[in-house]
Amino acid sequence: MRSFHHADHIGLTSQKQARLVAVGLCVPTGRVNPEQLDELARLADVYGNGEIRLTTGQNAIIPNVFADRVTKLLNEPLLKQLSPRPSPFMRGLVACVGTDYCNLALIETKSRAVALSQALQEKMGAGVNPLTIHWSGCPAGCGNHEAADVGLRGFKTKIDGKLVDAVAVYVGGRTGSHAIAGKEILATVPCDESFPDVIADVIQSYRAEDEYRQQAAFSDPLFTAAATVGLASWRSSSSFAPSAGAV
Ligand code: SF4
């Protein structure tokens, strides 16, 4: 039976086998260069049993690392780039290939996704609950934008007669036992300099709602029961007031 809680396998996870640990590394948008891939393979040989597992979150796991070797692995230079302790905005980041390699793509996705997550980290700091941010470069939805806390679907639009890149914003999607498709809350958000502000507003709205729900949990036993089984997390969807920066 599937767990109620989503596990992204980032960081250290004790395996069933005694003294063995799996080390999950964040690979922002799943993009690595040949040097990083060679080094990842070397680390898997030196610290594990040569295996590397790839996740649906576009990240990598080195399994079968003896617990007494983990500290040394964590000090390897590659782990500064592929971190086991990424920012909350990078940890759940997924992006389809976008215009780099897809003929159907309407916008560039991967570089833009990393830039947005970095901007959110600067604006909001590290004290935010980890959240999933998924990008799709067209309606085909290969980035599963409707299965994330914040989903972004790219398209082109005209603003003041000029063709520009834009996204539709979805919230509240999740997979697992209580899967639900994300709801579109903003139809057209241009990918311009105000873009990080708009998405930060969306995330803060979520946060405020979560605080409200946590307070409600003290007085509502039914809510408490729902929260216990994962039905009411900060990811829950509700109505949002459109941001001033959104079109
Ligand atoms: S979502 Fe669209 S742009 Fe992205 S990989 Fe799929 S078909 Fe290509």
| Domain count across the chain | 2
Specify if 202 maps to a domain: yes
Specify if 159 maps to a domain: yes
Distance between CA atoms of 200 and 243, rounded to whole angstroms?
10
Percent with pLDDT over 90 in the chain: 74
Residues 111 and 222 placed together within one structural domain of the fold? yes
Strand ordering across the sheet containing 60-66: 11-14, 20-25, 60-66, 53-54
- Check the CA dihedral 57-7-230-216 and report its sign: negative
Residues 209 and 96 placed together within one structural domain of the fold? yes
Residues 106 and 166 placed together within one structural domain of the fold? yes
Model confidence pLDDT, tens digit, residues 86-103: 999 999 999 999 999 999
Assign residue 34 the CATH number of its domain. Answer: 3.30.70.3340
- For residue 66, the surrounding DSSP H or E stretch is strand 60-66
Residues 121 and 213 placed together within one structural domain of the fold? yes
Distance 8 CA to ligand 1 centre (A): 23
Residues 56 and 116 placed together within one structural domain of the fold? no
What does DSSP assign to residue 242? P
Mutate to test the pocket of ligand 1, among 134, 135, 136, 170 (most ligand atoms within 8 A of CB): 136
CB of 142 within 6 A of ligand 1: the answer is yes
Could you tell me which residues come within 8 angstroms of residue 197 by beta carbon, excluding any fewer than 6 positions away? 123, 243, 245
> H helices of 78-169, where?
78-81, 110-124
pTM: 0.84
pLDDT at 176: 86
Domain that holds residue 27: 11-81
pLDDT at 129: 83
CA atoms within 13 A on the CB side of 155: 13
Assign residue 228 the CATH number of its domain. Answer: 3.30.413.10
Measured torsion, CA atoms of residues 8, 12, 82, 197, in degrees rounded to the nearest 10:
50
Dig out the tokens for 137 from the structure.
């470069």
Residues 17 and 136 placed together within one structural domain of the fold? no
Residues 57 and 101 placed together within one structural domain of the fold? no
Distance between CA atoms of 123 and 76, rounded to whole angstroms?
29
Residue 206, helix vs strand vs coil: helix
Distance between CA atoms of 184 and 139, rounded to whole angstroms?
13
Distance 115 CA to ligand 1 centre (A): 19
Specify if 146 maps to a domain: yes
Residues 143 and 24 placed together within one structural domain of the fold? no
Model confidence pLDDT, tens digit, residues 171-211: 999 888 889 999 999 999 999 999 999 999 999 987 777 66
Distance between CA atoms of 207 and 162, rounded to whole angstroms?
35
Residues 22 and 70 placed together within one structural domain of the fold? yes
Model confidence pLDDT, tens digit, residues 201-219: 999 987 777 667 667 765 5
Q: What is the mean pLDDT of the chain?
A: 87
Residues 37 and 118 placed together within one structural domain of the fold? no
Model confidence pLDDT, tens digit, residues 120-160: 999 998 777 889 999 999 999 999 999 999 999 999 999 99
